[in-house]
Structure 1
Amino acid sequence: MRKTYMFVISSALLLGATNVSAAFITSSGDAALSGGSVIDFEDQTLGTYTSLTIGDVTFTASDNHLRIDNTYQGYNQSGIYLDNGTYGNNGFGTLNIDFSGSTSAFGFTWGMAESFASWNLSAYDSSSSLIESYILPSTGSSSAGEFFGISAAGIASASLSWQGSYDWIAVDDFTWASASVPEPSTLLLLGAGLAGLFAARRRQPA
Structure 2
Amino acid sequence: MKYLTRALSVLLLVLFTSMGAQATPLSDLFNGGSITAGDKLFDNWSLSFYDASDGRSFNAANIDVTPLNDGGTNPGPGLQFTVSNNELSVTGDGIYAYVDLMFGFRASVLDPTMRIRDNSLTLTDGSLAWDPADGSYDLGTYIRETIGSAAGQENLGAKDVQFSVFGDPQELIDNTFNSATFAPQSEIWVTKNILVWSVDDTDTAELFGFEQRFSQTPATVPEPSTLLLTGLGIAGLVALRRGKKL
TM-score (norm 1): 0.48
Structure label with greater radius of gyration: 2
TM-score (norm 2): 0.42
